[in-house]
A and B are shown apart, each in its own frame.
Chain A
Amino acid sequence: MATPSCVMNPLTTVRIPRLLTRPGDLMVRAGESVEPSQIVAQSFEPADFRIVDVARELEVPVKNANALLKVQRGQAIAEGDILAARGGLSRRVCRAPISGTVVGVGRGRLLLEGDPEVVRLAALVPGYVVEARGDEGVVIETIGGLIEALWGNGKEAYGVLRMVVRDAQHPIRVTHINASSQGTILVGGATVDEESIAQAASVQVRGMIIGSLPASLILRAQEAPFPIVATEGIGTTPMTQTAFALLRSLDGRDAAVSGDIGARWREKRPYIVVPMPTQAGRSIDASGRPAVGDRVRVLRGDHRGQSGTIAHLLEGLVHLETGARMPGAAVTLAEGVTIQVPYANLERLL
């Protein structure tokens, strides 16, 4: 059975794809070292364009319009430039509505294309470019801690981790956020409230890592100017102990946070990467099957969000309260209790 997994590892080799949303140019080469703010690729957002109906604006027949043009295909124009003009008693002019280039002429009309907007993609993490993917982007490798989360607001940043709560049960409160929070990535245990998100925005925090985001705050979180990442998803479930302990051990270190969950059908996992000044990290094999001793997280039910280890793989089926019977494992939770969980509701922690 191919079992889902989630990386929560203090020292591993992390490969981060940094890909453009449309074809563009690479600014770095394979093998080059990069810094978080360094631009690794750029693309041009499609320019604005306009169809200018010269014949109609000059009130002349279509067949006469070409003779009145003051510009030609390929010519650069500025907003307000005269594109065509009619002399005589009823003089009229047709001006460019945007700056750009004349890219098409025909049937009494001009097609103008504006100047494209450049979109620049930063490395986000320090490391080495290990793969250059043509016009798509690059893959950057770094060594350090990696924590995969479940939900994110689509934004990303690099900053200093600052743990602001004492245990995983505690939410981030407005009292945790002050002027010294500026530029930091706040780490809480449970949830967050609207007031705290607003306060974090006002003091310009770099990011926020929490256990779960209440459903009522999703829109507010999406509007926040910094990344918000929830390790357990939506709701009120506190952060899994494994993630909380790892983040606490990394308090004060620089970290990259990505809240990108992709669009529907292109699911991605939000992540936190904490680069370490070392040469080697443990490689992770996500393709294995569950085995006794594996660290796991419970994904549903009363124990949702709790981590533990597989005590044994059940030969029979797990009987759920719903009446369903499914294959599963006995899991000993951090608090010492052993429960039976269907494999479908378990995730291996790597």
Chain B
Amino acid sequence: MTEVPSIESVLVADCGTVSTKLMLIERVADSYRFVAQTETRTTGGAPWNDLSVGVAQAAQELEGITGRQLYASGRIITPRQDMDGVDAFVITLNAVSPLRVVLAGLVEEMSLESARRAVAGTYATIEAALSRHGALRSPQETWARTIRDSAPDVVLLVGGVDGGARRPVIELAEAIALAASMLEKDHRPSVVYAGNAALRSQIAKLLGDITRVVIVDNVHPGAETEHLGPAQSALEQVYVENRLRVAPGVEALSAWSRLPFVPVANAFSRVVDFLWHREGNMDRGVLGVDVGAATTTMAAAFGGRSYINVYNHGTASGLVDWVQAHSLDDLLRWIPEPLDADSLLAMLHNTELLPSTVPQSPLEVSVALAVVREMLRSALDIARPSWDITGANFAPFGSREVMPRLDPIVISGGGIVHTPRPGQALLAVLDGVQPVGISTLLLDVNRAAPAIGAVAGIRPLIAASALEAGALVSLGTVISLVGQTKPGETALRLRIRYDGGRPLDVEAHYGELEIWPLPVGQRATLEIRPHRHFDIGMGPGQGGKVEVLGGLVGLIVDARGRPLALPRKADQGWMRALKRWTLDVGG
């Protein structure tokens, strides 16, 4: 961490795949607040091929808003000079291609599975996974050919518990050495070794003369233990060195800021960690979802441990690949009107070809939100197994099929924050994440969360102050019921006591979303009485009294049950229900 003395103002540049945001944070009285923000197109690609061009343009637009000079002589003015410039300039970045990784390990269900989870912690794609697959002899020739032909940035070599298998790991290392030696020197992959600790010196000796080797703790040191942190840090470091530091225009940006670049996912994760520590609830976690153009990031915190998972598909890139691995029907089921598969596929292709365009019709919004829902579902499928939720009462519902309790849930990313109406973002997250029990949904309306996380790296107090000053806007409190009964039957009774008002007695019916007004900043006390078939985390039929906060949508009861019964294909009844739910949330 780099300490910067006496910070009154911070400028944060967030260079995303599609857009570059510039945010100015300043001390106002005793707290730090977002003063202004601008957004322009990311200029890492043709015709600019220079990320600093977009940052400079955004700075000049910010000058127009603030009346303060921020950019002069071809650079951001820092440190501050009287009224011009800023005390610190921080850059978060993910406008680069992900690391290409080949996994090499012994057992698919053990070390390789851990390796996959380690890779998911950063911006990386898995090009191939090498293992014996039960064969008696090691297919070294095939392994070497795979590595040579895919020419990855990194080979993550895992396998063997500490003190366990030796020979098969060495055989993998030999194949990596062979493949690397057949590639040009500056095209050889780095090797991150996170396997049997007893082999470290042998691995270093075997590979060290051929390529760069990083040796870290075993991802799977014992049969029942997993230790991903060091391997994830090593991969993140390679990502910063091989991708961020060589991105077009980064040299100029580096000259403008003395502070290290922060990958957006890591910056976002810091905000989720902060919220977990602020809430201090050992019986529930905090989730952050960042649905971007090229990636979907899940940042979670449980019991003081944090988890980052980057899914390499977003709302404008990787869609066609995603469809090939899944199905168009998975998307079509979220669109509340008939749409043929060819038209949907054309829309997805054109979104990839023109990622900075925005939906211009309600149908296009429906398609975009269908994509958000499925990206969330797919990203969670990968993220959830890495969450350690066994040690506390996170999942009182007794089923791995439903989510652990999450409160709050932070919603960020241009793919979702730009939805025309807040209710649309809320419904997409309810459908994609399917939270259970009581959760507050916070919308990162200015997409400031990664910026705040980046600032937390230099001055945590500034970040905390900016968060408390309302950088995240509540969409509302959601009560999500686990259980099922006949459609239309009462699932929950509720007495709402507004501050200074008379109580309101209401009911929620199974299969429906029910919304009651509770504006931003207003509190209410709820007496909740679920039907005996339903659980809100207090046990079947058990209710209680809770105080909740309002939001842009209000107080929401999601009485559609968990897990949500999704059709494989949308029929007329499902489309009618989708339309009803969308109208209910004001979408």
Contact = CB atoms under 8 A, between A and B. Distances in A.
B45 interface: yes
Contacts of A300: 354, 357-360, 364
Interface string B184-217: 1001000000000000000000000000000000
A287 B47 contact: yes
B341 to A, nearest CB: 8
Interface in B307-338: 317-318, 321
Contact of B47 (A5, A265, A320, A345): A5
A150 B420 contact: no
B349 A233 contact: yes
Nearest to B57: A2
A322 B369 CA distance: 12
A289 B40 CA distance: 11
A151 to B, nearest CB: 6
Interface string A331-348: 000000000001011000
Nearest to B45: A267
Given A49-B182, A151-B353, A214-B342, A2 B48 contact: yes
Interface in A251-278: 261, 264-269
Of residues B98, B141, B357, B359, which shows the largest number of chain A Cβ atoms within 10 Å of its Cβ?
B357
Nearest to A235: B346
Interface in A1-58: 1-5, 22-23, 46, 49-51
B421 interface: yes
A88 interface: no
B40 A2 contact: yes
Given A4-B41, A345-B357, A265 B98 contact: yes
B552 to A, nearest CB: 14
Contacts of B321: 264
B41 A235 contact: no
Contacts of A214: 342, 346
Contact of B354 (A5, A150, A322, A326): A150
B365 A322 contact: yes
B54 interface: yes
Given A2-B53, A5-B47, A234-B349, A320 B420 contact: yes
B3 interface: no
Contacts, number: 126
B350 A322 contact: no
A233 B61 CA distance: 32
A215 interface: yes
A299 B354 contact: yes
A290 to B, nearest CB: 12
Contact of B361 (A218, A264, A266, A321): A321
A286 interface: yes
Contacts of B342: 214-216
Contacts of B132: none
Contacts of B364: 300, 322
B357 A215 contact: no
Contacts of B178: 51, 104, 111
B53 to A, nearest CB: 7
A50 B349 CA distance: 41
Interface residues of A, number: 47
B361 A322 contact: yes
Given A2-B48, A151-B353, A300-B359, A50 B346 contact: no
A5 B48 CA distance: 11
A320 B360 CA distance: 6
A136 B187 CA distance: 13
A1 B40 contact: yes
Interface in A87-144: 104, 111, 113
A252 B353 CA distance: 30
A302 B418 CA distance: 21
Contacts of A316: none
A20 to B, nearest CB: 12
Given A151-B353, A322-B360, A344-B357, A3 B41 contact: yes
Please list the 10 inter-chain residue pairs (A to B) with the smallest Cβ-Cβ separation, ordered nearest first.
A265-B97, A301-B360, A323-B420, A286-B47, A235-B346, A215-B345, A234-B349, A324-B420, A2-B41, A215-B346
Given A212-B346, A344-B358, 17 more contacts: A1-B61, A49-B182, A51-B141, A150-B354, A151-B349, A214-B342, A215-B341, A234-B353, A235-B343, A265-B97, A265-B317, A299-B354, A300-B360, A300-B364, A322-B362, A324-B359, A344-B357
Interface of B: 40-41, 43, 45-48, 53-54, 57, 61, 97-98, 140-141, 144-145, 148-149, 178, 182, 184, 187, 294, 317-318, 321, 341-343, 345-347, 349-350, 353-354, 356-362, 364-365, 418, 420-421
25 contacts: A2-B40, A2-B41, A2-B54, A2-B57, A49-B145, A104-B178, A151-B353, A215-B345, A215-B349, A235-B343, A264-B97, A264-B321, A265-B294, A287-B48, A287-B53, A299-B357, A300-B358, A301-B361, A320-B358, A321-B360, A322-B359, A322-B360, A322-B420, A344-B356, A345-B357
